[in-house]
Amino acid sequence: MNNLLVTGGCGFIGSNFIRYLLNQSDFSGRIVNLDKLTYAGNPQSLGDVEHNFPDHYQLEAVDLCDQRGIAKVFKQNDIDAICHFAAESHVDRSINSPGEFIQSNIVGTYNLLEQARALGDKLKRFHHVSTDEVFGSLGETGFFTETTSYSPNSPYSASKASSDHLVRAYHETYGLPVTISNCSNNYGPFHFPEKLIPLVILKAINGETLPVYGDGKHVRDWLYVEDHCSAIWQIIANGEDGETYNVGGRNEKTNLSVVETICSKLDEKLGQLPSGPRKDLIEFVKDRPGHDRRYAIDCSKIEKDLGWTPAESFETGLDQTIDWYLENMAWVDSIKSGEYQTWITKQYGS
């Protein structure tokens, strides 16, 4: 793989993946990062990468819905492999503005597949990164496997399910060398502050109210982002064409327990607030529509077939995540103030 296209590489998981891959001894190629630079895409998250790997990294500010723009990137950069992260991904936003999710996640994936198909035998791998949310909601027991039927319950998960089906269909119909991964909830450095863990960390640091949907007993399996990156690279390098791999952290937690753990760790690191322990800031709010009760991933296939296992427990991963936010408040301030968007406009005209 001489020229790997990474879509959405300025986002949370994408930026971590690019950094991870360029530090791997078994990757000597070049990464072209294609990113629309929406509100959740921040090139500043890869400032160290641009500095440390100038000959192996390039950013192209292009929308996946721009067919001509994508074609130009493919032609100019001699692309021979693709890792597709780019997607609108926030469930709450999909409820309020579903049209954006249809365009980015379905139409954008179609456009990318068409460019990949035009490469013919030159294409070595098309890896599509998806989510466990396409499977819907579990009861109190059981796990999602690679053969679990799709049953998405939000516009976001429905759009991702659609893109999964498109990728699989292009393998069956046109013979594209595709792989798909469905992951559980990620957390770690550079996570946009609208998501649960960074939102709670930052609000708890400042002593703000910590909103928790419903009764707080919704269960998620949590996966440290670098563990996810290592799984994706294993799939790209060694996965079997046409196969799907579930990637999970084996860390099932209720949303309430996640929030309480963050509060406890911040109390240990920073001391309690003058008003008392941070868990007193928790406030239960009206549940969101279509809120899935439980997700849990069975990742035994990738463990058995590719030898991958997560390196971090929830405790060790969360400690690293909290420490990263405490040490990188300048990045946080740039996000919260909108300063990064001004910088993007000046640099890239987005």
60, 88, 133, 227: which one is catalytic?
Answer: 133
Cα distance between residue 250 and residue 261, in whole Å: 17
- Sheet order of strands, 57-61 included: 57-61, 30-35, 3-7, 81-84, 125-131, 178-183, 244-247
Here the tokens at position 156 are 């976001």
- Strands 30-35, 81-84: pairing kind: unpaired
CA separation for the pair 169, 149 (Å, rounded): 16
- In the annotation, is 319 catalytic? no
The DSSP output letter for 122 is G
Residue 143 three-state SS:
coil
Rounded distance between C-alpha atoms, residue 159 and residue 202, angstroms: 30
Of 57, 156, 325, 340, catalytic:
156
DSSP 104: I
Tokens of 36: 């629309």
End-to-end CA distance of the chain: 30
Given a contact cutoff of 8 angstroms between Cβ atoms, the answer to whether 2 and 38 are in contact is no
Cβ burial of 254 (10 Å; 0-12, 13-18, 19+) is: middle
Amino acid at position 209, single letter: T
Q: Of 60, 63, 132, 227, which residue is the catalytic one?
A: 132
E strands, the chain, in order: 3-7, 30-35, 57-61, 81-84, 125-131, 178-183, 185-187, 210-213, 219-224, 244-247, 252-254, 282-285
Q: Whose structure tokens read 């799709």? A: 150
Does 132 participate in catalysis according to the annotation? yes
CA 175 to chain centre: 27
Secondary structure (3-state) at 198 = helix
Catalytic site positions: 132-133, 156
